[in-house]
Structure 1
C-alpha cells in the first residue's frame, strides 16, 4: 500500500529549504565586537559540518536504493551520527523502505527516532503523520490517534484528518470517521486528497 504519495511534495520542499537555507538557519544574534571573530569561526564550522552532512546524506541515500542489508546498516549508522535535519530525512527514507517491504515495526522505530530529532514544525508534522500511518498498519489505533494530535501547522489539516478518519473507521467509529473526513475536505489543504476523502465519505453515507 502506498502510504506516502500525498506527502512527497512536502518532503522535497522541506529538503530543498534546509539545503538552500542551511546558512541562514545557523545565524543568530551576536552582541559585541569581541564576539565577532568567535562567531565567524563557529559559523564556518557549522557550515562545514552541514556541507559534510549533506554529502554524507546523498551518499547514504544513493546506496540505500540498492536495498542490500549492509547499505541499510550504513543508513542506520548515518542517522545515529547525525541528530540534525539530514538525519531526520534519512530516517524518513529508511522508514519508507521498511514500510514498502511490509516491515512496519522497523519503520516505526526509524520514525520514532526521527520524531526525537526533528525540530522544525513542518518536519515534525511530516514525521508524526507518517508515524500515525505506520501505527495504523500495525493496528496500534490509540497510539496513532495520540500521534496525530502532534500534527500541527497550516497545510497539514487535510492529511491529518484523512489519516484520523481511517484510524477511527478501523476502530469502528463511523460517525467519528465521517466528521474527520468532512473537516479534512473543508480545510482543503491538499487538493489531491479531497476527491479521495469525498469518496470515503460517500461510502460511509451510503
Structure 2
C-alpha cells in the first residue's frame, strides 16, 4: 500500500514541477528549434548566394572573352553591389580590370583593382592585386606610385615584384638599379629552372640581365 501512495506522491511532485517549469522548457525548446532552423536557413541562403555569384562571374568572363565590355561592367557592378561578401566580387573586379587594360581604359582598371584590394577576403590574393595595380600606375605614367606599391613586398610574388621594379627603373634610365632588381628576381627563382614552370620567367630575366652587361662590367 505504501508503494501506491509513494507513486501518487511522485506523480503529484511531477505535476507540480511541470506546472512551475513548463514555460521555461517551452521557451528553451522553441529557441533551440529556432536556432536549428535558422542555421539551416542561413546555410541554404549562403549556398544559394554563392551559386548565383558564381554563375554571374562565369557570365562576366564570357562577356570579357566576347569583348562585350559594357555588359561585363554591368555584371561586375552587380557582383560588387549584390554579392560583395563572396570572393566572386573581387574576382570579378580583377577580371574587368584586365579587360579594361586590354581596352586601354587605365582609369577604369585602376578603380576596379583598388576596389578589389579593399574587398578581397583572401590575404594571399592582395599581393597579386598590388602587382597588377602597380603595372597600371606605371602605364599611367605614375612610376613613383607604382614603386611605392612594389616596396611593400610580397613573398609569394617577390620575383614578379622585383622584375617589374627593374622594368620601371630601366624605363627611368637607372640601369644599375634595373640590373640589381633583375638579379634579385632571378635569384629568387632558386637555381636551376630548366624544365620547370619557372623556365620562361628565368629566360626572360636572363635576357634583361644580358642586355645590361655593360653595367655589370662597370661594376666589376
Three-state SS of the structure 2 residue aligned to 1:67 is coil
Q: CA RMSD in A?
A: 2.4
Give runs of ≥4 in structure 1 deviating > 4 Å. Answer: none
Tell me the number of residue pairs that the alignment of Structure 1 and Structure 2 aligns: 173
| Paired position in structure 1 for 2:42 | 42
Unaligned stretches of 5+ residues in structure 1: 1-33
- Whether 1:111 aligns to 2:119 is no
Specify the structure having the higher radius of gyration (Cα): 2
| Paired position in structure 1 for 2:129 | 127
Q: Which stretch has the larger CA shift, 78-87 or 101-110? A: 78-87
Given that 1:91 and 1:114 are in contact with CA atoms closer than 8 Å, whether structure 2 keeps it comes out as yes
Superposition pairs of residues 52-91 of structure 1, within 5 angstroms = 52-68=52-68, 70-81=70-81, 82-83=83-84, 84-91=86-93
Shift of 1:41: 3.7
Given that 2:169 and 2:178 are in contact with CA atoms closer than 8 Å, whether structure 1 keeps it comes out as yes
Residues 1:50 and 1:186: Cα distance change in structure 2 (over 3 Å): same
| Paired position in structure 2 for 1:26 | none
Q: What is the alpha-carbon distance in structure 2 between the residues aligned to residue 202 and residue 191 of structure 1? A: 16
Q: Which has the higher helix share?
A: 2
| Paired position in structure 2 for 1:197 | 205
Shift of 1:69: 5.1
Q: What is the alpha-carbon distance in structure 2 between the residues aligned to residue 88 and residue 101 of structure 1? A: 20
Q: What is the alpha-carbon distance in structure 2 between the residues aligned to residue 48 and residue 151 of structure 1? A: 37
| Paired position in structure 1 for 2:166 | 165
Residues 1:36 and 1:188: Cα distance change in structure 2 (over 3 Å): farther
Q: Which stretch has the larger CA shift, 91-100 or 145-154? A: 145-154
Unaligned stretches of 5+ residues in structure 2: 1-31, 191-197, 215-220
Q: Taking CA–CA contacts closer than 8 Å with sequence separation of 6 or more, which of the two structures ends up with the larger relative contact order?
A: 1
| TM-score, length of structure 1 as denominator length | 0.74
Shift of 1:149: 3.2
